[in-house]
């Protein structure tokens, strides 16, 4: 979805690998799922923000208000409920990149 924007797109699992990669590479944007192996994305969220100083978008199949509020309290820039359309995800990511000072 984002690699067509001439950006490097990296994936990581588990969370520890993602944190290590994010600290080394300093990404422009992080997409983080609420449900990740061995840890939940909400508790990992502050660590990603600290390591990257960028916007973190939380994705979840759980569209409940409690999870969304928790994500925002922990620093999420956006909260996307799965399944989402490719267009919707691109708009959210583009908006976050612009707000973070990155072109499109």
Distance CA 20, CA 60 (A): 22
CB of 79 closer than 8 Å to CB of 15 = no
Within a 10 A sphere around the Cβ of 98, how many other Cβ atoms?
A: 11
pLDDT band, residue 102 (cuts 50/70/90): low
**pLDDT tens digit sequence for 68-96:** 888 889 999 888 988 888 888 889 988 88
Tell whether the model's pLDDT for residue 20 goes beyond 90.
Answer: yes
- 2 within 8 A of 91, measured Cβ to Cβ: no
DSSP symbol at 94: H
> What pLDDT shows up at residue 1?
63
Is the preceding peptide bond at 14 cis, omega within 30 degrees of 0? yes
Token digits for 62? Answer: 């759980």
Is the CATH number of domain 3-99 3.40.50.720? no
Q: Give the confidence band of 10 by pLDDT, cuts at 50, 70, 90.
A: confident
Residue 4: band (very low, low, confident or very high) from pLDDT cuts 50, 70, 90: low
Sign (positive/negative) of CA torsion 42, 17, 54, 58?
negative
């Amino acid at each position: 979805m984002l690699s067509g924007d001439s950006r490097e797109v990296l994936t990581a699992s588990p969370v520890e690998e993602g944190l290590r990669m994010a600290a080394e590479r300093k990404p422009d944007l992080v997409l983080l799922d609420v449900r990740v192996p061995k840890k939940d994305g909400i508790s990992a969220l502050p660590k990603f923000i600290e390591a990257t100083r960028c916007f973190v978008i939380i994705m979840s199949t759980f569209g409940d208000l409690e999870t969304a509020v928790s994500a925002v309290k922990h620093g999420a820039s956006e909260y996307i409920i799965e399944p989402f359309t490719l267009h919707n995800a691109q708009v959210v990511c583009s908006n976050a990149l612009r707000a973070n000072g990155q072109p499109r």
